[in-house]
Structure 1
Amino acid sequence: MSEPITEADQGKQVVAADGESIGTVMKVDAGVVHVNLDSDLSESVKRRFDWGDAEDYTLQETEVESVTDDEVVVRSEAGAK
């Protein structure tokens, strides 16, 4: 990703590289993206990011592939264990 993610990206959809919706950017804080998860998010996506029963769902800026006008796209290998 060439441009850093900023507070201006709050409110954008967060999607996986395959297009699956993950949630919405709630907050951006020093390169950490705080995500409000979609209510119907699959358990496999939660496991992929090791989110389980976490109360704060976050992505590191390094896990972001790109940012468009409407979306934050997560790298396909992000969260892979």
Structure 2
Amino acid sequence: MNRPLSEDDEGKRVVGPDGEEIGTVEKVDAGVAHVHPESSVSESVRERLDWSDRGDYTFQETHVESVTADEVVLSE
């Protein structure tokens, strides 16, 4: 990744490496992004990010491939 996640990334779309829209960054706290997921996120993406039905939707900077002006792109 080209830089650490920060509060500047809040509100950005989160997409997978294939362009699948995963959700929106709600909050960034110490390199961990808290995400409001799209209802249509595939089960394989949920498993890869270790998202369960309990509502703890987060990922760490290590899952990020790149960050642009309007989206966070996750790595494979």
TM-score normalized with structure 2 length: 0.92
CA displacement, residues 25-69 of structure 1 (integer Å, 9 cap, x when unaligned):
000000001110001212221122221213121100111110001
**Counterparts of residues 39-58 of structure 1 (less than 5 Å):** 39-58=39-58
Cross-structure match for 1:29: 29
Q: Which amino acid aligns with 1:70?
A: D
Moved over 6 A (4+): none
* Matched-pair contact (CA < 8 Å) for 2:2–2:67: no
Which runs of no fewer than 5 residues in structure 1 stay unpaired? 77-81
Asked if 1:3 is matched to 2:7, the reply is no
Percent identical across equivalent pairs?
62
SS in 2 for 1:54: coil
Gaps of 5+ in 2: none
Q: CA RMSD in A?
A: 1.0
Q: So what's the TM-score if we normalise by structure 1? A: 0.87
